[in-house]
Amino acid sequence: MSLAALAQLDGKALIAAVLRDYAGRVAVTSSFGAESAVLLDLVAQVDPSAPVIFLDTGELFDETVEYRYALERKLGLSNVIVVRPTDEDRKAAEDLWQTDADRCCELRKVRPLAKAVAGFDVLIDGRKRVHSAERGALPTVQQAGDVLKVSPLATWSEDHIEAHFVARALPRHPLVAQGYRSIGCWPCTRPTKPGEPARAGRWAGSAKTECGIHTVSLGTVKD
């Protein structure tokens, strides 16, 4: 199927088409965060053995790690690949979030993920337009260098996401009940306030809005 044809699809239909057309060359990236269950549920319905890359930065909430195991069991995901920064990078990043969040994200997220996805031509992610102004024009299919980025939920509204949670009886991330709507590393994540966009709790008080894994061409990252 052509990229133009793929771009006309979303949700489960897009996931199914990509896994079929690029068989063996596709990986799903997931934070196992607040809304991750929806994308992972759609992937599991198509192929529960599809590679799912989970980035453990070393600074995740304990609840996120527990949620990962809960979703694996619930959805029958059989190929979750846990990726971590090297010991050297982890030491270099210690407490760096306080002084240089961009460098911290590079060491804890961008570099290890770049290595993990090196063998894949297509990456499926859970980004959505409703999350922030920066993602307001996010396409469902986007060629980024040598990698095809696919965001099956890009056009989904908050109501659509919520309806899927209810219809499929999906478990919630434990921190959602405490007001967390976008969940990353614990030092740089806070609950959102009423009226704020979902990602307002990430790097609050700074101009930073992205960690880099979706904005940097991973194929260009070097050791």
Active site residue 104: no
Per residue, the 3-state secondary structure of the chain, as one string, reads: CCHHHHCCCCHHHHHHHHHHHCCCCEEEEECCCCCHHHHHHHHHHHCCCCCEEEECCCCECHHHHHHHHHHHHHHCCCCEEEECCCHHHHHHHCCHHHCCHHHHHHHHHHHHHHHHCCCCCEEECCCCHHHCHHHCCCCCEEEECCEEEECCCCCCCHHHHHHHHHHCCCCCCHHHHHCCCCCCEHHHECCCCCCCCHHHHECCCCCCCCCCCCCCCHHHCCC
Active-site choice (105, 185, 188, 211): 211
Catalytic residue set: 211
